[in-house]
Structure 1
């Protein structure tokens, strides 16, 4: 990480923490809908009632408050200077709804960097960018002191394409390409995957 909070990674992708300085880039990646359905990446951080009540502007304000705190709630990934992806990450305890999820509950006591959301800008979807995004995010997580990254991707059945609201946690094939291995499969379309860092 250099003095500007920017980390050079393999290829041309770089990573910056979400902060007031990078907020406009976060908005660019998530678009007018705040990702999907006014989420603004608060899905795993709030109860369903809180999330629904804040849908849209309320969730955006909640994430804006998190962006002003340490540690950063996630990172923006850039291709050259263009913001192309967002990843919400941190210890599992940062994501209370993930912790309470009967589907994605902790499989053991290992401390992990949870990659709770991986969102690619709509103009770059389908371009095969996701494995490189995950690679860049893992580089950041390792530099932040994490030893294991954990993801919760979907594995669409029969080659179907997942929509933005179902693919918010990433696609399993991209995680495999980025060096993750399946450690559990609580449902046939939802593996839990990990990668050792460092």
Structure 2
């Protein structure tokens, strides 16, 4: 019988940046996604990273609340979850489409990525559990996510906001909908109280 894998989830601090990049951008292309669209404007990318998206993300990793977590299976980085205090995610904070449900200072999940070659192997469940545990360890009272609820299969080839069932397995419950639409489907507001 095979041994159970060793799963760990850690914040993406500067010393773990290469592990994050191995998941989200293995070829290190500067024009490729560095999970910055909700966190920094083009002007801020210029200020923080001299125009380099990679360098801007490296700068975010050095902050008090790093921009997310990396999940490892047997020491290999296999997943990324962008999570942090909603108040520190400017595009979400100012969104007219995904407005706060109440005054709870939630942490928000805005992106989930499972590394190619590791999909459909239980990584997402471990990644979300680790992300929630990380938020709880930092004092978050609740974690929210804004997934879509598709009638059929979604394209999961890259980063995505997740599905209702994925978050339900992680203990989240639907508390509302947003005015945002993804793939012609309404986005949900799901929360897990901590």
2:110 to 116, 128, 134: 116
Partner in structure 2 of residue 7 of structure 1:
none
Counterpart Cα distance in 2 of 1:133 and 1:151: 14
Structure 2 gap ranges (5+): none
Per-residue deviation, 1:107: 1.7
Contact 2:70 2:127 in 1 (8 A): no
SS at match of 1:149: strand
Counterpart Cα distance in 2 of 1:132 and 1:16: 12
After superposition, residues 100-111 of structure 1 pair within 5 angstroms as: 100-111=94-105
TM-score by length of 2: 0.81
Structure 1 gap ranges (5+): 1-10
TM-score by length of 1: 0.80
Counterpart Cα distance in 2 of 1:113 and 1:52: 23
User: Which digits, 9 at most, give the CA deviation of each residue in 1:146-177, with x for residues without a partner?
Assistant: 12011112223323434425x1x222211011
Per-residue deviation, 1:110: 0.9
Partner in structure 1 of residue 8 of structure 2:
14
Rate the CA distance shift 1:83–1:22 in 2: closer, same or farther, 3 A.
same
Counterpart Cα distance in 1 of 2:99 and 2:54: 26
Contact 1:180 1:194 in 2 (8 A): yes
Per-residue deviation, 1:30: 0.7
1:146 to 140, 144, 147: 140
Contact 1:119 1:170 in 2 (8 A): no
1:193 to 179, 184, 190: 190
User: Which digits, 9 at most, give the CA deviation of each residue in 1:41-90, with x for residues without a partner?
Assistant: 1011124x559989xx7221111111122222221111120111111221
After superposition, residues 2-151 of structure 1 pair within 5 angstroms as: 12-32=6-26, 38-47=32-41, 50=43, 58-151=52-145
Per-residue deviation, 1:128: 3.7
The number of residue pairs the alignment matches comes to 182
User: Which digits, 9 at most, give the CA deviation of each residue in 1:96-136, with x for residues without a partner?
Assistant: 11122222121211111111222111221233421221112
RMSD over aligned Cα, in angstroms? Answer: 2.6
